[in-house]
Structure 1
Amino acid sequence: MSAPQLLAGKNILVTGVTMDSSIGFAIARCAQEYGARVLISNFGQALRITRRIAKRLPEEPPVLELDVTDPEHLAGLPDVLREHLGDDARLDGVVHSIAYGNPETLLGGKFLDGPWEDVARAIEVSAYSLKALTVACRPLLGDGSSVVGLTFDASVAWPVYDWMGVAKAGLESTSRYLARDLGADGIRVNLVSAGPLRTLAAKAIPGFEDLETMWKTRAPLGWDNADTQPTARAVCALLSDLFPATTGEIVHVDGGFHAMGA
């Protein structure tokens, strides 16, 4: 059975695509299968990997160089998008799949010792960048456009996650304020909170296995930490027209773990 064309005719930018095991890659593939025209981005040394990985998608998409902490990259983003989409084209969806926290200083039980310089960087890359990216794309966004980011439930304190948990809390709050300020323009802003997935970023977290083991016994629907498809499909649903009145929301894709007390 072919995939439903939920995103037919839509232009979608997926940021932070690196390895083919990444959530961003799964979202880009799912969006293409649902009929979207997709652009992906990365920067620095990872850009070369992204260009190679892009060939593994159903249709090789344009790969943009975009550092969401670089003011020049952000200022030039609308023109770069127009080069690929056309001068009169709009951007129907933006996916924020970007996060970073120094695993040597901020994760794995180092909360009390985390230095401000590294904390500030984690918050800038993982939370503030949602606002920076959305504002940069705003000239191409319009009524019905959707911004979707990825979080890991920041309502509680997790083992080993430490300052990344704080950064994700900032991301979640940022998404709500963006939803407030962009709602008048018909722009929706939502997040998907996924359970632990075996991505390259997750493997860099010291003690990540401690998080994974919790899902084995407490997720009512079970949880496959190697399957990025449920998360990708949820993101694509939020990018589509199926949720025209939903904004400022966090959709959990975690096998139901978040709803269980013990």
Structure 2
Amino acid sequence: MVGILEGKNILVTGVLTDGSIAFHVARLAQEQGAKVVLTGFGRMSLVQRTARRLPDPTTPVIELDVTNEEHLASLADRVREHVDSIDGVLHAVAFAPATALGGNFLSTRWSDVSTAMQVSTYSLQALTVAAAPLMRDGGSVVGLDFDARVTWSSYDWMGVAKAGLESCSRYLARHLGHRGIRVNLVAAGPLNTVASRGIPGFAEFESVWDSRSPLGWKADDCEPVARACVALLSDWFPATTAEIVHVDGGFHGMGD
């Protein structure tokens, strides 16, 4: 059976360990026929070891700091060392200093807020613009979100950054639609990843989420979120852009 990403090239950011959402997207994309190029930041040796656990153990890894203008400016050329073009991008990048989380909302300094906003919000625009020259025949950009319609305990400025991410995705969809580039987000429920463990109190969401979600929720299972991302990266949503797809067991639709 031909996979839904057969013949496509996909750029995946944000892989660190094999427990990350991005890793599972990369794995499933390869299982569905895609050639994948990974980007890593900081702990590059760890990212390279993680890449060897993918179905294709020779998956290339390039360094990308989304706050580094030189990295962004050279991204297209460095990706071309491995593939001629790309058909999709996964944006799985987010970070906020500890002072911007954990109930510190009223005391967080702008320097820390600006870091959260640059890495977690502006980077979607920066990455998309850097990758767009590789998307000659259009394509799909998918970002990872956490529902920003409401506030979450301890999430603080990361919640604000995610709200910005949601708006940013819609403006990108507006400005890139004429080039056939779709931009969508997947709003996931809480998952046990390295990133989530850095958010104070995040683990407390798990039991509440499972009990209130009509379909239930498994915080140790990235597969449903990865499947949604891969579907959006494929040609199966050709007229969908500026959308937020909730993969959270239905939690977002429930009241009390």
Checking the alignment, whether the CA contact within 8 Å between 1:142 and 1:187 is kept in structure 2 is: no
Please state if 1:31 is matched with 2:29: yes
Residue in structure 1 matched with residue 193 of structure 2 by the alignment:
199
Residue in structure 2 matched with residue 136 of structure 1 by the alignment:
130
Matched residues in 1 for 2:61 and 2:137: separation?
26
After superposition, where does 1:12-27 map in structure 2 within 5 Å?
12-27=10-25
Residue in structure 1 matched with residue 97 of structure 2 by the alignment:
102
2:177 to 176, 179, 183: 183
Matched residues in 1 for 2:227 and 2:138: separation?
19
RMSD over equivalenced CA pairs, Å: 1.0
Q: Deviations over 1:209-253 (max 9, x none)?
A: 232232021100000000000000000000000000000000000
Matched residues in 1 for 2:191 and 2:28: separation?
17
- Percent pairwise identity: 61
Query: How many equivalent residue pairs?
Result: 255
Q: 1:58 corresponds to which letter in structure 2?
A: P
After superposition, where does 1:226-237 map in structure 2 within 5 Å?
226-237=220-231
Matched residues in 2 for 1:204 and 1:214: separation?
19
Matched residues in 2 for 1:73 and 1:15: separation?
13
Checking the alignment, whether the CA contact within 8 Å between 1:188 and 1:246 is kept in structure 2 is: yes
Q: 1:70 corresponds to which letter in structure 2?
A: N
| SS state at 1:84 partner | coil
Residue in structure 1 matched with residue 111 of structure 2 by the alignment:
117
Residue in structure 2 matched with residue 220 of structure 1 by the alignment:
214
2:80 to 79, 82, 86: 82
The TM-score, its normalising length taken from structure 1, stands at 0.95
Matched residues in 2 for 1:22 and 1:230: separation?
13
Residue in structure 1 matched with residue 65 of structure 2 by the alignment:
67
Q: Spell out structure 1 runs of 4+ moving beyond 4 A.
A: none
Checking the alignment, whether the CA contact within 8 Å between 1:159 and 1:210 is kept in structure 2 is: no
Matched residues in 2 for 1:123 and 1:176: separation?
17
Matched residues in 1 for 2:106 and 2:207: separation?
24
The TM-score, its normalising length taken from structure 2, stands at 0.97
Residue in structure 2 matched with residue 55 of structure 1 by the alignment:
52
